[in-house]
Amino acid sequence: MDTELILRVYPFFIEAAWVTIQLSVLTAALGLACGALGAAARLSRLAIFRWIAATYVSVIRGTPALIQVFILYFGGPQVGIQLDSFAAGTIALGVNIGAYMTETIRGAIVSVDKGQTEAARTLGMSRWQTMRKVVLPQAARLMIRPLGVNINALIKGTALVAPISVVELTYTAQRFIGSTYKPFEMFLLSGLLYMVIIYVVGQGIHWLDRRARIT
């Protein structure tokens, strides 16, 4: 273990970890937005919305995220979408995780007991009121934990922007492996930072989940 080398290069990894955190936050926000929209469309009364959302989920989950990143970043300019690598990576990964979150959110909504909806409708609430005041508050609690699983995968998934040269943790590790020939040290350094990020986020989700359970 070359500790002297680690001490010399670690500031680059801290900086890279910050980029990974920014990527994770933006991707999660975009993913949640896509997931909420997707779930609403999946549960819509209009067949066309259901069909669009089902196709979105099936196509995104049926193809590799890396290819999706490449299509947007390298193929985008051909159809007039010119994005820098950070923006292209964030959008591609956000749309990708959104497909998984669509299924998570939909799953939580449909697992709320049907009697709740029936009772609310019998009491004269509209479909929208029932959803907003009865179903969603209960579903929100159910979806915290599975969304946490999605977010854990998303944080590790941000490594996929390394091949399009976003200077985040994996790209930095790769670059230093190439220049120092010390793969184990670089792996441990970047791996440790990933685990710290995942641990902190995991604790946050655990806290949210517990709070949701008490009330």
Partner 1 sequence: MGLDFSVVPGFFGVLLMGAGWTVAITVCAGLLSFFGGIVFAVVALYGHWSLRWPFRGFAFLFMGTPLLLQLFLIYFGLIQIGIDLPAFVAGVIGLGLHFAVYNSELIQASILAVDKGQYEGARTLGLSRGQTLRKVVIPQAVRAVVPPMGNNMIALLKDSALVSVIGVMELTLAAQQAISRTYRPFEFYLAAAFCYYIVNLALEAGLRRLERRIAASR
**Per CB under 8 A, which of residues 15..74 are in contact with partner 1?**
59, 62-68, 70-71, 74
Residue in 23, 95, 159, 166 binding partner 1, rule: CB under 8 A: 159
Of 34-42, 46-54, 128-136, 151-159, the segment contacting partner 1 by CB under 8 A is 151-159
DSSP, collapsed to helix, strand or coil, labels residue 40 as helix
Task: Name every residue whose Cβ is closer than 8 Å to that of residue 104 and which is 6 or more positions away in sequence.
Answer: 35, 143, 146, 147, 149, 150
Structure tokens at 72: 């947007």
184 binds partner 1 (CB under 8 A): yes
Name which position in 77, 113, 118, 126 contacts partner 1 (CB under 8 A): 77
Q: Say how many CA atoms lie within 13 Å of 77 toward its Cβ.
A: 7
87 binds partner 1 (CB under 8 A): no
150 binds partner 1 (CB under 8 A): no
Taken in order 146, 148, 154, 156, the sign of the CA dihedral is: negative
- Does position 191 interact with partner 1 (CB under 8 A)? The reply is yes
Contact (CB, 8 A) for 104 and 145:
no
Distance CA 136, CA 121 (A): 15
In the complex, the smallest distance separating the C-beta of residue 114 from partner 1, rounded to whole angstroms, is: 25
Site of interaction with partner 1 (CB under 8 A): 59, 62-68, 70-71, 74-79, 156-160, 162-163, 169-170, 173-174, 177, 181-184, 187, 190-191, 194-195, 198-199
